[in-house]
Amino acid sequence: MADLPQSVLFCCDHNAVRSPMAEGMMKAFYGQDTYVQSAGVYNDLEIDGFSVAVCQELGIELARHRSRSFDEMQEWGDDLSGFDLVVALSPASQRHALDLTRVFHLTVEYWPILDPTGLGETREAKLQQYRLSRDQIKARMLERFGPPTHLE
């Protein structure tokens, strides 16, 4: 099994779609073995209902997620330098995370995950796009961190 980092920060643009899905999956798959948080470059959106729905299909609860930005994390006392790994799921969050490496010693990985927002005309078509994003995150996570140590 791959070595799990002590702490991981997943980030995307708004902390409303991709990074909350990644945070929820990481916690579900690897339990308390790793400290996991997520953040966005911006915090101007609530958790996306389609993200909640497609994670619920895996038994992962996201409805209580509260979106937050990098700046809010620092304001609330989260030490960004304390994360072993920052996983950026969008180009904007990758740029922001790489900017932080000028101040903090951080390892940043970029996982290019589809942004499903605005895709699909019908509810089912939208859900399908969100499932694609969810499944991309899951595949990258299993590839990077190995099989789940906790039941899915």
pLDDT tens sequence across 84-95? 899 999 999 999
Residue ranges and CATH numbers for the domains of the chain are 7-145 (3.40.50.2300)
DSSP secondary-structure letter at 32?
G
How many Cα atoms sit within 13 Å of 98 on the Cβ side? 9
Q: Beginning with the edge strand found earlier in the chain, give each strand of the sheet holding 107-110 in spatial order.
A: 35-40, 7-12, 85-88, 107-110
Residue 47 is given by DSSP the state P
pLDDT, position 118: 87
pTM recorded for the entire structure: 0.92
Residue 39 banded pLDDT, cuts 50, 70, 90: very high
Cα–Cα distance, 36 to 79 (Å, whole number): 13
CA 48 – CA 4 distance, rounded (Å): 28
